[in-house]
Amino acid sequence: MEHMGYTSSSPNLDAIFSALADPTRRAILSRLVEGQACVSDIAEPFEMSQPAVSRHLKVLERAGLIERDIDKQRRPAKLTAQQMINAVVWLDQFKAFWGTSFDQLDSLLLNMKQTRDKQHE
């Protein structure tokens, strides 16, 4: 992955979104948060075949979310691409911003109504 910038037609973002759209791949990333792991480590808790895990790892690798050690026979996978993850996180924050703020506004309005009603009593 020689270029990490975000241009308008950024293939990275597309790759990230499609990589993360799959619940199994997100679970694999969760596992990798705990530390690097090889295919058999990952396959076990998922009751999944090793070729199936390998396919998922390839998708994650192409998206730049993980990296695999080519020098070692077991080819452990580990998380990379902090920049890309940052971008996705940032988008998540943008999306969640108003919804979460509005939940807080709901509570505030309830307080304001109660205060107002007390004044009217």
Partner 1 sequence: MSDLPEFVVERSFDAPRELVWRAWTEPELLSRWYGPGAETIVHKFDLEPGGLWLNEMKWGDNSNFQKVVFKEVSPPERLVWNHHSSVDSDWNDAANPMMADWPKLLLTTVTFEQVENKTHLRLLQIPLQATDAEIACFAEVMGKMSGGWGAGFSIIDDILTEL
Binding-site ranges for partner 1 (CB under 8 A) = 5-10, 13, 17, 20-21, 23, 26, 29-30, 33, 79, 82, 85-102, 104-110, 112-113, 116
* Closer by beta carbon to partner 1, 3 or else 71: 3
Residue tagged 């109660």 (tokens): 114
* Closer by beta carbon to partner 1, 70 or else 108: 108
Give the nearest distance from C-beta 14 to partner 1 in angstroms.
8
Give the nearest distance from C-beta 73 to partner 1 in angstroms.
26
Rounded Cα distance between 36 and 33, Å, is 8
Give the nearest distance from C-beta 33 to partner 1 in angstroms.
5
